[in-house]
Amino acid sequence: MTGRPVPAAVSPGHGGLDGATARRRYVTVSFLFWLPIGMSIATGVLLFTERGMGLAAIAGFYAVHSLTAAAMELPTGGLSDVIGRRPVLAIAGLLNLTAFTLIGLGAAGWAIALGMGLMGLARALSSGPAEAWYVDTVHAHAGPDADLRTGLARGSSATSAALALGTLLGGGLPWLLGLAPGLGEWLADTTGGLVILLSVPALLGALVEGVFVFYVLSALPEPPRPRTTLRRVMGGVPAAIAAGLRLGARDALIRRILLTASAAGAALAAVELLTPGRAAALMGTAESGALVFAGLACAGFLCSALGSQLAPLVARFTGGSERAVLASLGLVTLGLALLGLTTHTMSPLATTVAVTGYGLVYLGLGAAGPNENDLLHRRVDASGRATALSVQSLSLQLVAAGAGLGAGTLPPGPLPWLLAATAVLAGALLWVRRPAPAPPHHGPSATGGPVAAPVPAGPLHDTAPEEIHPHARPT
């Protein structure tokens, strides 16, 4: 089609929501989903230790979560494209509700492992449906060339803000409750030891997940999909997975996005693995280092939220989403380099530089994400959108797992940081190429330039030449 659809052509299946309303609901869903997860960050290891678990067992619990999320990433992305965004999100919320209840009350290793596995499955289920619902709704109201960056940026900011607030709540709530004389003993005696102060954040997270499920079911309308059976669902999911796997192979722009996600995974693995040890070494004890790391993690989430909010501005300033990704990844590279160059000294100046580098990493990743996804959503249509997001998430998770294992075997010092910086720099260089002439016109873009036709859900074809530039300079 060659023109922006008029608002009168709103799809009734999306409840007639306009872009602003859809954006608010997407932001709310993002915040509600990630708030309980943030609350579990500060107390997770301490809770398991209090339950009598050793470090090896705790590492196994987190491995169950990561492996489950990675194994189910593509199948669950395909499921969302087959049965709809809302039911998959509701299932993810129910799984998280169950997981947080098991983690908060479970005293046995099997209960904790089951909870972590369910949380990993919920993580895989949630990777894409909310964002896909938002994009589908905006496209139904304003056409396929509507601006997406603002909504994607605010959703990403809401995620980061939820993680930051959740980290503070999860870390501070047990401490605050402990100020009440005898409260901890009363909780343990009343519940037979099932509820202790450290389990309160997980149980509160389960309540928030209940609110999340109710909100998803009541506030995210979508068009009815054809009635299906279990056999059709099982048959449709592999087809969606196959389409997702073909995205990177046949579309050069999506291939760059996936490789960029892999580079981000290497950066996150280095930061999450190496920063806690540096904080403990700086403070002298593991306990005080953990407290410092909690504050630093909160600051990192806030930097990520700020970067996401600035993503549209970065795109306007640099001349498009592609150049914005390049500039953002350059910021990440600089941050990792600063962290690497300050490993051998703990002077006040070096510590300040390292903290600055830490903030730059999250600021750059926050600014890159919405611009990458803006490009991604212009390359795929609604029937394969959640699958494409799952492929992107899988690329990040797999490389993060491998990079984390690699960084753990390297000698301490600047080398792990600089290798991560090199990986991100390589990802940034993918966006340096000069754009080729624009593809055939398919309607005005939100930025004022032509947009390539989206990749259909069926057999994919190479609609992206090696140096495509789907955005003209924004107005």
Confidence label for 14 from pLDDT (cuts 50, 70 and 90): low
- How far from 272 is each of 25, 53, 267, 277, 417, CA to CA, in Å? 30, 22, 9, 10, 11
More confident residue, 471 or 105: 105
User: pLDDT (tens digit, 9 = 90+) per residue, 69-111?
Assistant: 877 776 666 677 677 888 999 999 999 999 999 998 888 889 9
Q: What is the pLDDT of residue 3?
A: 40
Tokens of 150: 């603002």
Distance CA(327)–CA(432), nearest Å, equals 10
**In degrees rounded to 5, what are phi and psi of residue 15?**
70, 15
Task: Classify 438 in phi/psi space as left (phi over 0), alpha (psi -120 to 50) or beta.
Answer: beta
Q: What is the mean pLDDT of residues 330-353?
A: 90
Confidence label for 445 from pLDDT (cuts 50, 70 and 90): very low
Core vs surface per residue 95-134: b (16+ CB within 10 A) or e: bbbbbbbbbbbbeebeebbbbbbbbbbbbbbbbbbbbbbb
User: pLDDT (tens digit, 9 = 90+) per residue, 406-422?
Assistant: 776 777 788 888 999 99
List the helix and strand counts (H, then E) for the chain: 15, 0
Distance CA(324)–CA(104), nearest Å, equals 42
Q: What residues contact residue 59 under an 8 Å CB cut-off, 6+ apart?
A: none
More confident residue, 61 or 453: 61
Core vs surface per residue 332-355: b (16+ CB within 10 A) or e: bbbbbbbbbbbbeeeeeeeeebbb
Q: What is the pLDDT of residue 77?
A: 60
**In degrees rounded to 5, what are phi and psi of residue 57?**
-65, -40
Distance CA(140)–CA(19), nearest Å, equals 9
Q: What residues contact residue 318 under an 8 Å CB cut-off, 6+ apart?
A: 324, 326, 327
Distance CA(193)–CA(215), nearest Å, equals 33
* Most confident range, picked from 336-345, 368-377, 428-437: 336-345
CA 426 to chain centre: 21
More confident residue, 327 or 150: 327
The answer to whether 373 and 328 are in contact (CB under 8 A) is: no
Q: What is the pLDDT of residue 470?
A: 29
Distance CA(191)–CA(397), nearest Å, equals 38
Q: What is the pLDDT of residue 227?
A: 65
Confidence label for 28 from pLDDT (cuts 50, 70 and 90): very high
Q: What is the mean pLDDT of residues 190-207?
A: 86
- How far from 402 is each of 69, 258, 417, CA to CA, in Å? 15, 16, 15
More confident residue, 149 or 270: 270
Confidence label for 288 from pLDDT (cuts 50, 70 and 90): low
Q: What is the pLDDT of residue 365?
A: 92
- Cα-only R_g, the chain: 22
- Confidence (pTM): 0.64
